[in-house]
Structure 1
């Protein structure tokens, strides 16, 4: 057999084995890590091109473990640090009672939705999508919504899984000039990112948001009806004493306000001022500490309470960040064995017309993103090839790049190894597979809707 096909076939075998072990409830950290290392080892033996290390050791056997080291360094310096900081902040505001205050204050105007909890849950999708334009970090925004909206939704009467599912769904469409994937897509087709957003993304994203709202309304209501105990458990815990001042209700939403006000999308100041998510969370933590100092007038106690923040960061690191790193090694293994290239070759050799190629490429990216847990990784592998393929097919590059770009972020939302789902599931106290089960039908409906609009 041609060695060109061995890698993709082996990678498919590993996908099946990995999925089987995860469904059998083997430890996901170990399964993903060892599967990734084995695939990288096979890639080295077959002389496949492996991901570039910043400082290779000179010996392939050692380099396998350097992949883990560099993944730790890259993750902890970027998304890992952000997730840990947010996790610590969520733990802290919960401990000082700010989350309960937000729920108490929000429940009064939202009392109307007590009879329609699933409508309230579905409305999170367009609201979150608008916020996602200004806060273009899926994991960052989802965790901010976990701190602010999650307790409100569960108190309205939806299950923890339903609340977690709509929060992750609000990050399913990677649109907006500040989005990395949008910037990449616009650069590939050589148009301005703002123009691409206004002329191409807004229209289809609005339609897909409505489709997802309707789908999630029925899907979550159906699953919660099948498991009423999950909702009853929440309802039993609703009556809790509010010990902190009600002014504490503003603390959970401070990070969101900061990120919107100081976003690159708004020029509110003579000199541009922008904030990243991690810095906004640290500022918000110190504001919360000031609140506690004013309330307790006990500096020693406030200083001691900071341990809650560090413990929250540690819990997120051991449960979430390490799993993201293991998933990254798994993705590297798939890429090294030519999984992405194999999908690409398959789609181009099927002898389809332009519409058929767009459909196949879009679905391929959706599946690749779902398997690797990264929309960016899947799109960056396929996206640069679009101009060449579009020219060959005699079609507009934009009509091809848009569904591919959106399907990448949609696929991430149904991936059990995606950082956003891992982080949300940890705080919600549910498994990633439970969230994936809620997300799968609405996202497939949205994918098919998008393909119909783009192809017809």
Structure 2
């Protein structure tokens, strides 16, 4: 009886997330309600308190978001975008897939999907349209690359999985990096094929006054090379330190602080403004990202208290053939219908991934496919923040972008499931 009640609450939770109710409130309230029904309300509250102070998560996530805010205030992020766009516009034949891959690369340094979409899309989408590409394909090409943050040490899922597996963040990224790259290559090729199939890769002429991008300057602004290199410096340091230059090995916060200090030196921005931006970013990260992680922990603790987690794991043990599909397409589908794969991926990784070895899988692999599945699902969702940003710049419906991205994201999810699992 309790499991039936719990199942009803879980279904109600999914419904509310799809309807885009405040995800932290929904997850927390659902978890607390299940714990109350199980007669153990303190389980939920204790879970809240313990997840609040998970050191490995807080330091990585908050420091990366602090650095991202510094890049915005120093305008280094825009110079990076200008540099990449300026290069790609010289090669017309690869402009569409190049936009996807460029967005993916920039999203590593600027780990917010919507933020990267705005920074890249504001320049790239008008340039694509001016080159004769249809607005829908122009927006979809940029949107298709907004899961590059999978390779960022500050993406909340990477330190979360590292914490579960007891390894370093860069070790987690090393495991799923191949799958991430394969996914973006599939996405880039797919959007180029879709554009060709629909005859939307050339010949479009924008109505000068009616187009949403009519007031945007389509000339690529000049990029300062030194400014443009600053956003990628911390990532370069972390990669080199964990591979060929052990002397540079350091934690994520240290690398982000070095990057922020170099940003001050290179751009000569007022240190007070940089300091304020860094700490504002850290605070935002705790509230927005850690908030979801904490709420997801409460939700899972409620499911554990009421017996759903044990029942679900037993079901998976008895039908191991569905484990791979559940890990990949559970977060993927919720990402599509809710516009965010985070809640589903965190809940799955909190509840099931610690038991990965029961299914003959590694924790890192199972956690990675759940995170990547959610990200791919979000990238073909018409209600994701990044989709709305790209559609607004292109002057089309977000659904038009979602339809064009769907084939690539579905194929990428299937392929990477076999790569990681």
Residue in structure 2 matched with residue 392 of structure 1 by the alignment: none
SS at match of 2:250: coil
Q: Aligned match of 1:151 in 82, 101, 119?
A: 119
Root-mean-square deviation (CA), in Å? 5.2
Deviations 1:28-77 (A, max 9, x none): 221121112112223x42xxxxxxxxxxxxxx544532322222222xx3
SS at match of 2:90: helix
Residue in structure 1 matched with residue 263 of structure 2 by the alignment: 288
Give yes or no for contact 2:43–2:305 (8 Å, CA) kept in 1.
no
Q: Aligned equivalents of 1:89 and 1:428: distance in 2?
A: 25
Q: Aligned equivalents of 2:309 and 2:29: distance in 1?
A: 20
Deviation of 1:244 after TM superposition, in Å, equals 9.0
Residue in structure 1 matched with residue 7 of structure 2 by the alignment: 12
Deviation of 1:259 after TM superposition, in Å, equals 1.7
Deviation of 1:172 after TM superposition, in Å, equals 8.9
Q: Aligned match of 2:289 in 310, 320, 340?
A: 320
Q: Against the structure 1 CA distance between its residues 324 and 115, is the aligned structure 2 distance closer, same or farther, given a 3 Å change threshold?
A: farther
Deviation of 1:362 after TM superposition, in Å, equals 0.9
SS at match of 1:166: coil
Q: Aligned equivalents of 2:196 and 2:9: distance in 1?
A: 35
Deviations 1:287-323 (A, max 9, x none): 1122244xx7xxxx43244323333333333333323
Residue in structure 2 matched with residue 37 of structure 1 by the alignment: 32
SS at match of 1:120: helix
Q: Aligned equivalents of 2:418 and 2:240: distance in 1?
A: 37
Q: Aligned match of 1:386 in 340, 345, 359?
A: 359
Deviation of 1:180 after TM superposition, in Å, equals 8.8
The equivalences for 1:333-412 within 5 A come to 333-349=302-318, 357-358=320-321, 360-367=322-329, 372-374=344-346, 376-377=349-350, 380-387=353-360, 407-412=369-374
SS at match of 2:15: helix
Residue in structure 1 matched with residue 88 of structure 2 by the alignment: 110
Deviations 1:108-165 (A, max 9, x none): 221135675431244359x76xx9xxxxxxx976618988897345522177776455
Give yes or no for contact 1:98–1:244 (8 Å, CA) kept in 2.
no
Residue in structure 2 matched with residue 123 of structure 1 by the alignment: 101
Residue in structure 1 matched with residue 235 of structure 2 by the alignment: 256
Deviations 1:389-433 (A, max 9, x none): xxxxxxxx89xx9985664343342577xxxx9xx95999689xx
Deviations 1:317-338 (A, max 9, x none): 3333323322332233334434
TM-score (normalised: structure 2): 0.66
Q: Against the structure 1 CA distance between its residues 409 and 215, is the aligned structure 2 distance closer, same or farther, given a 3 Å change threshold?
A: farther
Residue in structure 2 matched with residue 446 of structure 1 by the alignment: 412
Deviation of 1:286 after TM superposition, in Å, equals 0.9
**Number of residue pairs the alignment of both structures matches:** 372
The worse-fitting range, judged by mean Cα deviation, of 243-252 and 277-286 is 243-252
Give yes or no for contact 1:369–1:415 (8 Å, CA) kept in 2.
yes
Q: Aligned equivalents of 2:50 and 2:140: distance in 1?
A: 33
Q: Aligned equivalents of 1:430 and 1:179: distance in 2?
A: 28
Give yes or no for contact 2:47–2:297 (8 Å, CA) kept in 1.
no
Give yes or no for contact 1:168–1:413 (8 Å, CA) kept in 2.
yes
Q: Aligned equivalents of 2:213 and 2:220: distance in 1?
A: 15
Deviations 1:208-249 (A, max 9, x none): 6644444455689999x9xx99xx656744569979955322
User: Which structure: larger Rg?
Assistant: 1
Q: Aligned equivalents of 2:280 and 2:419: distance in 1?
A: 48
SS at match of 2:53: helix
Q: Aligned match of 1:70 in 44, 50, 53?
A: 50
Q: Aligned equivalents of 2:62 and 2:162: distance in 1?
A: 26
Q: Against the structure 1 CA distance between its residues 349 and 288, is the aligned structure 2 distance closer, same or farther, given a 3 Å change threshold?
A: closer
